[in-house]
C-alpha cells in the first residue's frame, strides 16, 4: 500500500514504517488555521484534515495521512514552545498533573476521507525547579507539543499513562492502521 505522510516529523516517519515501508513524506506547508469556537480537543483533528487535504491534491491515488498532536491541560492547548521561557511555563504547568495528549489523524484516498482523534491521559510527577531547568536547557522541548517527548528525557517525568503510548509520541499507529484498512475495504 502506498502511503503519503503529510508531515516532516521524524517520530511520525519512524512510526508509520510499522504500517508500510512504502511511504513518501511530504510536509503540507499549510498555514494552520483554527476556526473560532472550536472545542479544544477537536483542534488537532481539524489541523490534521487541513494538512492531509493540501497534500492529497497532488497524490489522489495514494493514501494520504495528515496528523496533528496537541497537549491539553485544562482548556489550554500547549503547542511547541516558542522559547525557553515558554518551555519553562509549559513544563511547570504539567508538573504533578494529569493532561491529555490528543492526536488527530485524517486520511484521504481517492476522494474518500476518514478521521479520528486518539486521546491519552499522561500524568507527570511533581517536578523540582532543577529538573525543569535541566530539561529546558536541552534541545529536546522545542520541537514538541507541550514541550516534551515521552520517548526522550521527559520520559523520566511520567508517572503513568492511560491510553496509547505511540499516540503520545505523535502517531497512534494501531488505530491508524485499522482506519486505513477500513477505508480500503470501502473501495
Would you call 53 exposed, middle or buried from its count of C-beta atoms within 10 A (0-12, 13-18, 19+)?
middle
Yes or no: say if 159 and 124 are a contact pair by the CB < 8 Å rule: yes
Q: Mark whether 61 is an active-site residue.
A: no
8 A C-beta contact, residue 126 and residue 82: no
Considering only CA atoms, give the Rg of the chain.
Answer: 17
Q: Which of 68, 83, 134, 143 is catalytic?
A: 68
User: Rounded to 5, what percent of the chain is helix, strand, coil?
Assistant: 40, 25, 35
Which residues are catalytic, by number? 68
Amino acid at each position: 500500500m502506498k502511503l503519503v505522510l503529510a508531515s516532516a516529523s521524524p517520530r511520525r516517519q519512524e512510526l508509520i514504517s510499522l504500517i508500510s515501508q512504502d511511504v513518501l513524506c511530504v510536509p503540507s506547508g499549510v498555514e494552520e488555521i483554527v476556526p473560532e469556537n472550536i472545542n479544544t480537543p477537536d483542534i488537532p483533528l481539524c489541523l490534521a484534515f487541513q494538512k492531509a487535504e493540501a497534500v492529497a491534491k497532488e497524490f489522489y491515488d495514494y493514501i494520504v495521512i495528515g496528523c496533528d498532536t496537541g497537549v491539553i491541560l485544562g482548556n489550554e492547548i500547549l503547542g511547541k514552545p516558542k522559547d525557553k521561557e515558554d518551555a519553562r511555563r509549559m513544563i511547570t504547568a504539567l508538573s504533578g498533573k494529569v493532561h491529555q495528549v490528543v492526536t488527530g489523524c485524517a486520511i484521504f484516498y481517492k476522494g474518500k476521507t476518514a478521521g479520528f482523534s486518539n486521546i491519552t491521559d499522561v500524568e507527570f510527577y511533581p517536578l523540582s525547579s532543577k529538573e525543569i531547568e535541566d530539561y529546558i536547557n536541552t534541545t529536546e522541548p522545542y520541537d514538541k507539543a507541550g514541550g516534551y517527548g515521552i520517548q526522550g528525557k521527559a520520559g523520566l517525568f511520567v508517572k503513568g499513562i492511560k491510553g496509547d503510548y505511540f499516540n503520545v509520541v505523535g502517531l497512534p499507529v494501531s488505530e491508524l492502521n485499522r482506519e486505513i484498512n477500513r477505508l480500503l475495504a470501502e473501495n
